[in-house]
Structure 1
Amino acid sequence: MELNGILNNGGAHLQMKKVILRTVSLTAITTVAAVSILAGCSNTTTGGSTSTAGSTGAGGAAAKQADWAEQNGLNKTETVEELYAKAKQEGKVVVYSQSSRIKDVKATFEAKYPGVVVEAYNMTTNDIVEKLIREQGAGVYNADVVFVKDAGGTVSSELVKKNIVYKYLPSDLAAKMIEPYKSQSPGLVPYFSLRSIFYNTDANKTTPITNWWDLTTPEWKGKVMFDEPLQSADTMDLFLAMVQNAEEMKQAYKEKFGKDIVLNGTENAGYEFIKQLVKNDAVLMKSSDDVVEGIGKSTQAKPPIGFSASSKMRDVVEKKLKVNTTYDVKPRISVVGPSYLYIANKAKNVSAAKLLIRWMAGEADGQGEGFKPFNVQGSWSTRTDNGRTDQPAIDKLNVWKYDPEFFYNNAAKLREFWLKLQ
């Protein structure tokens, strides 16, 4: 169904919204294969040997990059005063950010640390991956801080493992974090969000669904909205989690319909759910904003339902949306969607980058204003000292774990499956 089809029925017409602090012209990567090709295109060949930014071939590039990280103290904990003194000499810090809320971070950081300017680029994670691979493959080191999600394990596989970005987690911040983010994460994770189900509160006093398979029934035909997965890494990650946990999806089907699932040419219950959802005339939207506003502003007697970024709950009051989300869906409500902070390889403003990451992570006491734009309803802090109390605690969330290796190895296959459904 077309975007306007469902929205116009409710008297609302929405347009795609995108906040850009600095215009960057890029073509989004929509397949893991495309990212790999870009990485291959950035290779340099000399005398018949080939080396990439993360290879251990000619020149020992990977070893040199690891030396750079150690030489620049990415494994050290320095005081804020020490970092600020050095950051003022650098004068700025360049951030590639997957969130438009970086503009709020910029404002508070520059007020806290006069003399250090935040140069912020707001892009999709796919665009950030492409830009970093192209730039560093050409010997251009523009970024200092990289703020991204993993995008189907692409960041872990194409940036982290190839030493294009590095983890920076000072000990005084790590001491306040919970596992697995304290010691097992490839980057500093200040918070995570989910892809969760939203419903219209005018038409429903409580959630109208309790099982993901509810969305495949005739009751919701043509009324389920979500971001187009080839444009939304978070939606694709949710589908990948369902494929990975197909046995749970299979059991949820039996609980819903009282019988065993019969696969219709699909590999497992995860793929079958996606197929049935699409065949139920799912409504593909351009952005998370469009999904939540389409549900919350609908005037239809039977408003649409959908799933989108859980952090959009912050818009309920501001945009006067009649919408709520549910945390009780079988087999699980969603997959964890961590947001990562990294320092880019050969960053020119390392001290300012460290200072900014500390700021965005809430600083040692958890009260740093740089974390406030992200400490919203629908996001969960990974620290023990600054979480919210108006939503379920982390240990009460019935969610799937994020598995970057599985997602990376299966993303291309799922994308091909998705394209065949269209």
Structure 2
Amino acid sequence: MTYRPTKKYRTGLALSLMLGTMSAMPAMAEDLGIPDEGFSLEALVEAARKEPPIVVVDATGKIKTMAENFSKLYGIEATGVKLGGQEQELILQREAAAGNVTHDVFNMSNLPSVTSQLLPIGAGVSWMPPDQAKTTPEIYQKPAITSLNPWVWAYNTEKYGDTCPVSNIWQLTDPEWKGRVSIPDPLLRNETMFWFNQIETHDDAKMAEAFRAHYGKDLPETVESATSEWVKRFAANNPNITRKDSEVGPVVGSPGLKDPHFGFLSAAIFRAKYGYKMAICGGMKPWAGQLTPRVAVIASGTDSPNAAKLFVHYMMRGEGMAPQLIDGKMATNINTKMPEDEGSGVANFVDQLHVTNSDTTDQDFAKLQYWQDLWTIHSR
């Protein structure tokens, strides 16, 4: 819901959240701030300037720069706060339950959690700016996806040159790569588990085709799915598990490594300041990585609904996302170009990255425990 809940409603929502019933009525975007009918940016700015300052949240420190740029542009005070994905979810829910919203806008990475939990219980709302529909692909409008964070398979160029040593994802389950593939712990990164379910739901045939291409035979008929079989085999192949992707970069791309790892990490780790000798594994089948969506969520009980909507508008038109583009993140606005000095060159591999289907993210959330259990059992 997009309206500011009354005290009575807030009390009901608090009970709903605390009891875990998930029964609160979802907020509606049309109830938040000025109406969409006859929308104009000028009217939104005018209404926003009459409201209190806002706090905007993202998982990257670049949100502070984004907030500063927004304030300079519109003369509206905004403060950027860096919080991890799980922290964001907890704060959004707890503040809704308490009826005391202090964080107004979130740019969130766990899309399945947003669509299956946070929006349905009424803690937050997704608003798509009407005037941005023509410059935002339809698949990124419900909910409003501001940007895509590329996560890619990468290799050491100092050792392997311009040719990636892996051409097929099933190679990572073979003895050759046992203990030599580094990834952030999937049990700490729900996006990886959600990705597994997205692949199984929409592209399992491509995983089966890749198996056939690599081994010259079909998967046994007894397997539940090609994707789950890959997860089992990969988990059992002793991958090197790190806490975060910044710990993957050094074992893949540090200069002078005799036996560098293959790795899975975000495009941000390719920044020049790290000095890594690595590249995206272009041509890897079925995909060279994934595009993780970031979704704009407005706290339902914000005291500044129009200022919150204006910040979402700022992100959705691409301009607001500019500080993050140098890190490899990609704005969904089709008129936004990547900086020439972006370190990974991911713009050249977009058609090789797996894209999330927002229509089935509720299934991703529902099967999270299944994938976590599968990983845990087979990685022992």
Shorter-normalised TM-score: what interval? Answer: 0.7 to 0.9
What are the within-5 Å matches in structure 2 for residues 225-244 of structure 1? Answer: 225-244=182-201
Distance of aligned partners of 1:76 and 1:373 in 2 relative to their CA distance in 1, 3 Å threshold: farther
Confirm or deny that 1:155 pairs with 2:110. no
In the TM superposition, structure 1's runs of 4+ consecutive aligned residues that sit over 4 Å from their partners are 39-42, 50-54, 76-81, 389-395
Give the structure 1 partner of residue 212 of structure 2. Answer: 254
Give the structure 2 partner of residue 135 of structure 1. Answer: 95
Tell me which of 299, 314, 322 is aligned to 1:359.
Answer: 314
Give the structure 2 partner of residue 98 of structure 1. Answer: 59
Normalised by the length of structure 1, the TM-score is 0.76
What are the within-5 Å matches in structure 2 for residues 311-322 of structure 1? Answer: 311-313=268-270, 315=271, 317-322=272-277
What are the within-5 Å matches in structure 2 for residues 196-235 of structure 1? Answer: 196-205=152-161, 206-235=163-192
What are the within-5 Å matches in structure 2 for residues 297-316 of structure 1? Answer: 297=254, 299-313=256-270, 315=271
Q: Say if 1:76 and 1:170, in contact at 8 Å, map to a contact too.
A: no
Q: Say if 1:226 and 1:308, in contact at 8 Å, map to a contact too.
A: yes
Q: Say if 1:125 and 1:148, in contact at 8 Å, map to a contact too.
A: yes
Q: Report the Cα distance in structure 2 between the residues aligned to 1:359 and 1:44, rounded to whole angstroms.
A: 31
1:346 corresponds to which letter in structure 2? G
Tell me which of 358, 363, 366 is aligned to 1:406.
Answer: 363
The number of residue pairs the alignment matches comes to 359
Tell me which of 323, 330, 343 is aligned to 1:373.
Answer: 323
Give the structure 1 partner of residue 8 of structure 2. Answer: none
Q: Report the Cα distance in structure 1 between the residues aligned to 2:246 and 2:207, rounded to whole angstroms.
A: 28
Q: Report the Cα distance in structure 1 between the residues aligned to 2:150 and 2:211, rounded to whole angstroms.
A: 22
Q: Say if 2:149 and 2:292, in contact at 8 Å, map to a contact too.
A: yes
Distance of aligned partners of 1:360 and 1:392 in 2 relative to their CA distance in 1, 3 Å threshold: closer
Percent identical: 22
Give the structure 2 partner of residue 180 of structure 1. Answer: 139
Give the structure 2 partner of residue 344 of structure 1. Answer: 299
Q: Report the Cα distance in structure 2 between the residues aligned to 1:75 and 1:293, rounded to whole angstroms.
A: 48
Name structure 2 gaps, 5 residues minimum: 1-11
Distance of aligned partners of 1:82 and 1:54 in 2 relative to their CA distance in 1, 3 Å threshold: farther
Q: Report the Cα distance in structure 2 between the residues aligned to 1:248 and 1:262, rounded to whole angstroms.
A: 16
The answer to which of 372-381 and 73-82 deviates more is 73-82
Distance of aligned partners of 1:82 and 1:163 in 2 relative to their CA distance in 1, 3 Å threshold: same
Q: CA RMSD in A?
A: 3.0
Tell me which of 235, 242, 245 is aligned to 1:278.
Answer: 235
The answer to which of 283-292 and 240-249 deviates more is 240-249
Q: Report the Cα distance in structure 2 between the residues aligned to 1:108 and 1:270, rounded to whole angstroms.
A: 43
Pick the structure with more helix per residue. Answer: 2
1:164: how far off?
A: 2.1
Q: Report the Cα distance in structure 1 between the residues aligned to 2:17 and 2:90, rounded to whole angstroms.
A: 17
Give the structure 1 partner of residue 9 of structure 2. Answer: none
Give the structure 1 partner of residue 6 of structure 2. Answer: none
Name structure 1 gaps, 5 residues minimum: 1-38, 56-60
Q: Say if 2:123 and 2:300, in contact at 8 Å, map to a contact too.
A: yes
Distance of aligned partners of 1:275 and 1:77 in 2 relative to their CA distance in 1, 3 Å threshold: farther
SS in 1 for 2:50: helix
Give the structure 2 partner of residue 43 of structure 1. Answer: 16
1:189 corresponds to which letter in structure 2? I
Q: Report the Cα distance in structure 1 between the residues aligned to 2:35 and 2:21, rounded to whole angstroms.
A: 22
Normalised by the length of structure 2, the TM-score is 0.83
